[in-house]
Amino acid sequence: MKPISPTAAAVQLRQLSRSRPTLALVLGSGFHHAPARMAIERRIPYAKLSGFPPVGVSGHTGELILGRLSGTSVIVMSGRAHFYEGHPMERVTFAIRALAEFGIQDLLLTNAAGGVNRNFRPGDFMVLSDHINFMGVNPLRGSDAGSPLLQRFVDLTQVYDPKLSALLHRAGRAARVKLRRGVYLAVSGPTYETPAEVRAYARLGADAVGMSTVSEAIVARQCGLRVAALSCITNLAAGLGSSPLSHAEVLATAGRVKAVGANLLENFSKLYSPTRPEGKITK
């Protein structure tokens, strides 16, 4: 079977909308309220775009939303494919490649995460300073590293762009939200961690643990996108709180702070201005 190409999906996207945003937002739990603040120009269900994944997690619609957020033209991914759903990495990261081909320069990834840092509380927000890929796979693994034109040995010294991250902190100050800063450790899931794993991850330098974002960030860097990422700390990681973990708790916290998450994205979009693309990291 011929593999479905991100370029073909980008062509479809260009045919379906006249918007040409340079900023893309990927919405995780806690950030799902942002579209309610948008002047929406077009909604495109993933099912209309070849190669886009079906979305299995509740709370997200599985569509691209084009429009303006605080006056800035954006494309929003409402829903993402997770590795724990059984998708190969190629599919988990397909949309990022398609967005890069579409002309996106800057990517803000958001997610829900468990707080590993003992100072964090449910409902906090954390700007990612770096990550630890503990998923057991790398999305660039393969005979052509996901793309015959792009580099395989991608430098990850600075995955999360300092300028975009500074914008997130400014967005936090404008929203009067104290943003945390820290290292996100990605696991494959879908189980939550054991307390022993959480203690180990803390010793490794993790501040939060989650099941997404890292593979998308890696592929985005390969494509030459500037990346920033923001976690909504929905729960204390296993063993740090008094109750067992549940998806219901994650969704409850995400629901409680959804207005804060939307404010942060709104302020970020307002402060954002496109920069000259640094170009793809080609071979």
- Closer residue to ligand HPA (CB): 98 or 109: 109
In order of 15, 50, 95, 176, the CA distances from 125 in angstroms are: 36, 34, 25, 12
- Closer residue to ligand HPA (CB): 69 or 109: 109
Structural element, H or E, at residue 275: none
Q: Give, as ranges, the residues between 32 and 51 that touch ligand HPA (CB under 6 A).
A: none
What letter represents residue 181's amino acid? Answer: R
Q: Does 229 bind ligand HPA (CB under 6 A)?
A: no
Q: Coil, strand or helix: which one is 249?
A: helix
Q: Coil, strand or helix: which one is 172?
A: helix
| Alpha carbons 44 and 64: distance in angstroms, whole number | 5
Half-sphere exposure of residue 235, counting CA atoms within 13 Å on the CB side? 24
- Closer residue to ligand HPA (CB): 95 or 112: 112
Q: Does 113 bind ligand HPA (CB under 6 A)?
A: yes
Question: Could you tell me the smallest distance in angstroms from the CB atom of residue 119 to ligand HPA?
Answer: 16
Question: Could you tell me the smallest distance in angstroms from the CB atom of residue 205 to ligand HPA?
Answer: 16
| Alpha carbons 134 and 194: distance in angstroms, whole number | 14
Question: Could you tell me the smallest distance in angstroms from the CB atom of residue 184 to ligand HPA?
Answer: 10
- Do the Cβ atoms of 151 and 281 come closer than 8 Å? yes
Q: Which of 213, 222, 234, 269 binds ligand HPA (CB under 6 A)?
A: 234
Q: Does 211 bind ligand HPA (CB under 6 A)?
A: yes
- Closer residue to ligand HPA (CB): 46 or 83: 83
Catalytic residue list contains 211: yes
Q: Does 69 bind ligand HPA (CB under 6 A)?
A: no
- Do the Cβ atoms of 38 and 121 come closer than 8 Å? no
In order of 2, 12, 27, 30, 106, the CA distances from 109 in angstroms are: 29, 23, 7, 12, 10
Binders of ligand HPA: how many residues, by CB under 6 A? 13
Q: Which of 6, 30, 79, 114 binds ligand HPA (CB under 6 A)?
A: 114
Q: Does 237 bind ligand HPA (CB under 6 A)?
A: yes
Residues in the chain: 283
Q: Which of 69, 127, 145, 209 binds ligand HPA (CB under 6 A)?
A: 209
Catalytic residue list contains 29: yes
Q: Coil, strand or helix: which one is 184?
A: strand
- Closer residue to ligand HPA (CB): 59 or 210: 210
| Alpha carbons 102 and 104: distance in angstroms, whole number | 6
Which span (84-92, 126-134, 205-213, 215-223) binds ligand HPA, by CB under 6 A? 205-213
DSSP 8-state class, residue 86: T
Q: Which residues are catalytic?
A: 29, 60, 82, 84-85, 112, 211-212, 235, 247
Residue ranges in contact with ligand HPA by CB under 6 A:
112-114, 192-193, 209-211, 234-235, 237, 245, 250
